[in-house]
Structure 1
Amino acid sequence: MKGTLIAAIIAAFAITAVDSLDCVQCHVSNNTCSDNASTCAQESLSCVASFINSTVGGVSNLYQNNFCSALNCTENATREVDFTVRVFDDQRFHFASQCCQGKACNDTSHDSGTQQKDTTECISCYSHNKTVCQEKTQLCYKGEQCVHITVGFANGADEVELRGCSNISNATCQFLSPENTTVGEFIFKKVECMKATTPPGSVISSSANLPIKISFASSVLGTLLLLKLLL
């Protein structure tokens, strides 16, 4: 009987050890979290890491929130989104969030580097908590596409509308396209991705028009020679 009790206690400790989850836990503004992980509550199933680096609205803002969650991410997978929306040259919104099933998430604080400007453009604007989104145009980098995104916190405390050029992938667009898709602590209420357009008045090669011009000049010359012969 005593042996059975000891075996049960050992098994209980073994289950606790297997089921324990360690996550980085912090909530900071204008700073970044340390990499130190701590043990979550027993009911936690996933680690969540959310990061924002924003210069939109003329205000620089750095935000990071890492926590343990009872949310069950996709089984045996990490659900991650990571992209930047450029509203204007000096205003951008870098968003990264992960929900990691049964393990700590990777660092979300990195940002994509600069790229070469392209000749395409997107409608751009920024709105905070449903203020008017003043639309302008923004030249894009190569490989970027136009986006129209409305995203808010899961607790309903804040909402941002963004339009501009983005390095968001097609796979991420497809994943976030259903209304009210939740990733970490954020709810993507609207995500639309569109191909960037070439602005009016852009320089286009005139070589395609060259045969027409030559043909027209030859026709005029031939007509003048014919008139001279007739006269």
Structure 2
Amino acid sequence: MSIKQFISRTLIALEVVSSKLLHMNVEDVKQFISHTLIALTMVMVSRLLISGFDSKDFVIGNYLWLPIGAVILSYLLFGFKVFPGVLLGYLIAEMLIEGSVAGMYLDADISQRELLSRTMSSLGPIFAIVIMRAFSLSNFFDDNKINIGHIFFLVLLSAVISTLLKTFFVYNEAQKFLDNPVEHIGSYLVGDMIGGIVFIYIGIKVFALFFGRNKSI
């Protein structure tokens, strides 16, 4: 998929979201905006917190990828509708890390890779939740109590799916990846699992009461 095709499809998706917003009442719109902003903030902050652990070589993943936990928590709390906020949180964080919009998009190949990579990272947990739902494993709450087993399995499945998506759709033609695919897959998979579990564990403690009232999935 070219960058133009991706942008075109993203704009179409945003248009669909916008049309739905037009049919929502004021309170629903306010709630949607607040939830989206919370998701955006969680993803952005979690990404900025671990920027110091990034490898200079993009083939090696960050071994404490907290954002995947932030993404999962966002979907569990607010549902898939906050996807735009999740993706935007990723992109804003990357721009801040690079220092500017120009710094991030100076190289066309890098810009496309970053955009696709963050999109795959945002979609991975959605696919994981859908799969778990299909196999009746998406009971993340039992009588207003958090089902830790299902949530941790969700983290692991999200890590696997996210890593595979990035492997086959983002880095599959990169020479550095082709030189050492095992190390690439291993580092991204481990980083997603560790970071996801750490963030979810902390998030569960912080949002324990909020979880019971907002069972979106």
TM-score tier by shorter-chain length is under 0.3
Return the TM-score normalized by structure 1: 0.25
Flag the structure with larger Rg. 1
- More RCO (CA 8 Å, sep 6+): 2
Structure having the larger proportion of residues in strand: 1
Return the TM-score normalized by structure 2: 0.26
